[in-house]
Structure 1
Amino acid sequence: MRTSLLDVNPRLKAIGESPCNALRARALHITQELAQGVPKTFSRVVDLCSFDPQREGVPPITFLQQVLAVCLYPELLSDENFALDVRQRARRLIQSCEGSSMMTKLLSSSEGEPQNGVLVPLPYPHTLAMVLGLAGIRSVPYRLREDTGWAMDLEELQRAIRTARGCCRPMAIFISNPGNPTGHVQNRKSIEEVIKFAAAEKLFLLVNEVDQHSVHGSGIQWVSYKKVLFDMGPKYWDSVQMASFHSLSNGLMGECGLRAGYMELVNVDKEVMIFAETLVNMDISSPVPGQLALDILLNPPQPSEPSYDLYTQEILTNLATLTENALRAHDFLNSLPGMSCQPAVGGFYVYPRVDLPAEVLKRAKAAAVEADVLYCQELLEEQGVCVGAGSENGNTGGEYHLRLCVGVSSVVLEEALVRLGAFHLRFLDSYSCGPHLETP
């Protein structure tokens, strides 16, 4: 009898099939059907399930594309069609080129020991539970308060740590700031409370800050956990350990095809740092284009350089579009019956709550899927719009949400919202949930 990988690594069983992946696979199939002339009520599929702005109409950043082009084809170093700072940056990167699931490896427990646990927000990024589960780390959720704009609640953190100690050995707390998929941004007071909580409970801080450049709410200011930690004085910066994550694949550059990022370890023991550096050095074939692009993310053109004006204009245009899209989606979704949406002031998602009729819940149970997944499936089939189901972000058991990416062109978003509105009203009507209403 053939041995299955599931038998070799039982952790794989906990992953299961992702509803988002299934929806995207179906979306691809529908796109192929459209190309073959199969009649539909729509002419193309719109993907608001995941963040891939360039696929949905957002132009790439010129400086980044040009530097990468020169790096990958060095003969262009002498081509004066490229700005001088483009060629200078490419030359420096070429000369410096040599030849991060790391934290899950650092936090995973050995065989026979109590399972290590991480406190995670609910809702959480839709891949987080799978990553932790594959590493043998237990996820212990703490619920964000939707009624107060997805704020963190200290009493809820205390409840979560008590729960964790009853089932595992809590080692760390994971935070998304800005929130994914909620779009909230923590203020300084909230961050200080979390740091004090981590210090009191001896928890490692895992801070996802990949959307830090995409804060778009009026009057909202993003501040890093590291800055707050060091502003709180030696009592905390000498005792609280932290890892901060940033990524090229998120943010206003939107370069999803160039997977690259970094992790900054703060106040970590020397012995752990040696182990972490060893893990990094084991990867001798990391992709070079992503590393080149990451340098541009961290060191953009300066005001004295010829590419500065165009780069700044493109970044500001993307931020303006993101701001308008977040407001438009928020207003539209709140105008639909049976939907409510908290304002998104950072990141690339809005996360509306949808009240589903009892008949929908019965039908979903009969189909052995979550009710919000059923909603997303029918939306894709009927209107060609692919959105994420909140159950993928940890919301289950009577609360249903949708995850919509607003990091797309305004034209694409408007088209998707119109289709979503038409579907939503028809969906409610079909389950006898009230009279038909006009699309907002």
Structure 2
Amino acid sequence: MSPKGLDYELLNENVKKVQYAVRGELYLRAAELQKEGKKIIFTNVGNPHALGQKPLTFPRQVVALCQAPFLLDDPNVGLFFPADAIARAKHYLSLQLGGLGAYSDSRGNPGVRKEVAEFIERRDGYPSDPELIFLTDGASKGVMQILNIIIRGEGDGILVPLPQYPLYSAGISLFGGSLISYYLEETANWGLDINSARQSVAQARSRGITVRAMVIINPGNPTGQCLSVENLKEIIRFCYQEKLALLADEVYQQNIYQDERSFVSAKKVLMDMGPPFSKDIQLVSFHSVSKGYYGECGQRGGYFEMTNIPPETVDEIYKVASISLSPNVPAQIFMGLMVNPPKPGDISHDQFVRESKAVIESLRRRAHIMTDGFNSCRNVVCNFTEGAMYSFPQIRLPPKALEAAKRAGKVPDVFYCLKLLEATGISTVPGSGFGQKEGVFHLRTTILPAEEEMPAIMASFQKFNDEFMEQYEDYKGYSRM
């Protein structure tokens, strides 16, 4: 019988190449164990509300009123909703003809895009054009749109940091391009060595690949570092020399857990550098409501801003966005609320500040608990999580563990993470899913479990790790890293 249209052997080969470790083998096994009744702690994905983070009150109030506008006509609405939430709901409904059930412009609602532009201008000190801002269904959708626009085939390469968030490797595979990796330096707290990027571009070109763009993730995922201004300047000079577009994934910009290095956007550094860089570098910056103190992953709100992108290219991006007609309209309102929160003097301001500060301060404490916990474990070493939502400890696996993994037909860190899952219910992601140097093994876990549960989780991890090392390592070689 001849194969039919959706039979596996006839599928797009690029789809078959796609791998996405965050929802890969470990996640599927965790889901199976959960069905069997085992308690699973899903630390594999940055999903704050699923791990107990409470929604912020003000944005949920505003969106609730927008979703149910008949409540605004109820004379008792003021008994249940503060006046500033009522006013903001009316504001967004006045911007959106037909309410939340109607399509918006394919770039997103012009009024919300204006709020995003004003936020960027306040943050960076430079003008932002709402016409060069597209609202998207989460930052991921924006990244995929831009990769789709850039990549023409396997002869086009995208320079991506390793370890990297697998959205990039998956998207590049899906669109038929080539991932060109540059390594972050673990011993320098995951700092960027521009020489690694330079060598990678030269090697790619020697293979006939045209490197088109460079990706930075700041703060880092899975590595948790914050790029310094000097690092960002190096990156911009490099992109200028090599004629690369710069794709700046900045979705964790509110997630900062130390005082030594604050987040500084790629756009601000670019503009501060002045011509020729500020006039020449093509920059696309991404942000999201999924992270920060909002953590509204399920709402799927995001945006990207374009700097120095030719008008004809912007038109093509608009055309592609139009195929989907409209980004999620409720998520656009969440984005407007994120970039334009209650102001001092507003009824909801104090509560909003109190709630948002509590989230970030708790995450800061959890980052310390987790880093200290990993570093107290046998054969484990972990850089401090400066930002984002993850720890990325290195697990120094003994030779007997490598042999056991080989016999089981598993990559060594997959073998370790599966054993961890079976023993403790802690669902992580092996470092091999993000890319790492040969012979070096990691796992990625979020810092999102509830703060009161974190000590018990780390104790459970340490007990497992000690038993694992006891089983596979000559005890005489024991050393606490």
Shorter-chain TM-score above 0.5: yes
Q: Give the conservation status (yes or no) of the 8 Å contact 2:22–2:45.
A: no
One-letter identity of the residue aligned with 1:144: L
2:50 aligns with: 55
Q: Give the conservation status (yes or no) of the 8 Å contact 1:107–1:137.
A: no
Q: Give the conservation status (yes or no) of the 8 Å contact 1:116–1:137.
A: yes
Matching of residues 393-408 of structure 1 within 5 Å: 393-395=434-436, 397-408=438-449
The separation in 2 between residues aligned to 1:312 and 1:6, in whole angstroms, is: 55
1:2 aligns with: 3
Q: Does 1:156 align with 2:159?
A: no
Q: Give the conservation status (yes or no) of the 8 Å contact 1:185–1:345.
A: yes
2:114 aligns with: none
Q: Deviations over 1:95-122 (max 9, x none)?
A: 2225122101211115xxx610011001
2:237 aligns with: 196
One-letter identity of the residue aligned with 2:177: I
The separation in 2 between residues aligned to 1:126 and 1:94, in whole angstroms, is: 37
Matching of residues 206-355 of structure 1 within 5 Å: 206-355=247-396
2:85 aligns with: 86
- Three-state SS of the structure 2 residue aligned to 1:249 is coil
- Rate the CA distance shift 1:291–1:6 in 2: closer, same or farther, 3 A: farther
2:120 aligns with: none
1:410 aligns with: 451
2:146 aligns with: 103
2:124 aligns with: none
1:139 to 179, 182, 191: 179
Q: Deviations over 1:71-115 (max 9, x none)?
A: 1111222411101111111111122225122101211115xxx61
1:115 aligns with: 155
**How many percent identity over aligned positions?**
30
Q: CA deviation at 1:132?
A: 1.1
Q: Give the conservation status (yes or no) of the 8 Å contact 2:20–2:433.
A: no
1:37 aligns with: none
Q: Does 1:30 align with 2:44?
A: no
1:386 to 419, 424, 427: 427
Q: Does 1:358 align with 2:399?
A: yes
- Rate the CA distance shift 1:47–1:22 in 2: closer, same or farther, 3 A: same
Pairs aligned (count): 429
Q: CA deviation at 1:379?
A: 0.8
The separation in 2 between residues aligned to 1:190 and 1:295, in whole angstroms, is: 31
Q: Deviations over 1:168-189 (max 9, x none)?
A: 1100000001111111001111
1:73 aligns with: 68
- Three-state SS of the structure 2 residue aligned to 1:144 is strand
One-letter identity of the residue aligned with 2:51: E
Q: CA deviation at 1:359?
A: 1.6
Q: Give the conservation status (yes or no) of the 8 Å contact 1:19–1:373.
A: no
The separation in 1 between residues aligned to 2:215 and 2:332, in whole angstroms, is: 25
Q: Give the conservation status (yes or no) of the 8 Å contact 2:219–2:253.
A: yes
Q: Deviations over 1:366-398 (max 9, x none)?
A: 233211111111111111111111101112521
The separation in 2 between residues aligned to 1:388 and 1:226, in whole angstroms, is: 32
- Rate the CA distance shift 1:157–1:138 in 2: closer, same or farther, 3 A: same
Question: Which blocks of at least 5 consecutive residues in structure 1 are unaligned?
Answer: 35-39
One-letter identity of the residue aligned with 1:327: H
- Rate the CA distance shift 1:17–1:316 in 2: closer, same or farther, 3 A: closer
- Rate the CA distance shift 1:29–1:162 in 2: closer, same or farther, 3 A: same
- Rate the CA distance shift 1:253–1:435 in 2: closer, same or farther, 3 A: farther
Q: Deviations over 1:49-76 (max 9, x none)?
A: 1111112122111112111211111122
- Rate the CA distance shift 1:6–1:186 in 2: closer, same or farther, 3 A: farther
One-letter identity of the residue aligned with 1:387: T
Q: CA deviation at 1:365?
A: 2.0
Q: Give the conservation status (yes or no) of the 8 Å contact 2:400–2:472.
A: yes
Q: Deviations over 1:132-188 (max 9, x none)?
A: 110112111100011111111121111111122123110000000111111100111
Q: CA deviation at 1:208?
A: 0.3
The separation in 1 between residues aligned to 2:474 and 2:381, in whole angstroms, is: 17
- Three-state SS of the structure 1 residue aligned to 2:212 is strand
| RMSD of aligned alpha carbons | 2.0
1:46 aligns with: 41
Q: CA deviation at 1:436?
A: 12
Q: CA deviation at 1:264?
A: 0.5
Range 404-413 or range 118-127, more displaced? 404-413
Q: CA deviation at 1:8?
A: 4.0
The separation in 2 between residues aligned to 1:436 and 1:414, in whole angstroms, is: 28
One-letter identity of the residue aligned with 2:31: L
- Three-state SS of the structure 2 residue aligned to 1:238 is helix
The separation in 2 between residues aligned to 1:213 and 1:297, in whole angstroms, is: 11
Q: Give the conservation status (yes or no) of the 8 Å contact 2:399–2:473.
A: no
Range 160-169 or range 279-288, more displaced? 279-288
The separation in 2 between residues aligned to 1:173 and 1:129, in whole angstroms, is: 13
Q: CA deviation at 1:126?
A: 2.6
One-letter identity of the residue aligned with 2:355: E
Q: Deviations over 1:385-438 (max 9, x none)?
A: 11111101112521101101013321232232121111101111111342799x
Q: CA deviation at 1:355?
A: 0.3
Q: CA deviation at 1:20?
A: 3.9
The separation in 1 between residues aligned to 2:181 and 2:20, in whole angstroms, is: 21
1:18 aligns with: 21
Q: Give the conservation status (yes or no) of the 8 Å contact 1:425–1:436.
A: no
- Three-state SS of the structure 1 residue aligned to 2:271 is helix
Q: Deviations over 1:231-274 (max 9, x none)?
A: 11121111110100001112221111111211101001111011
- Three-state SS of the structure 2 residue aligned to 1:257 is helix
- Rate the CA distance shift 1:190–1:150 in 2: closer, same or farther, 3 A: same
Matching of residues 169-180 of structure 1 within 5 Å: 169-180=210-221
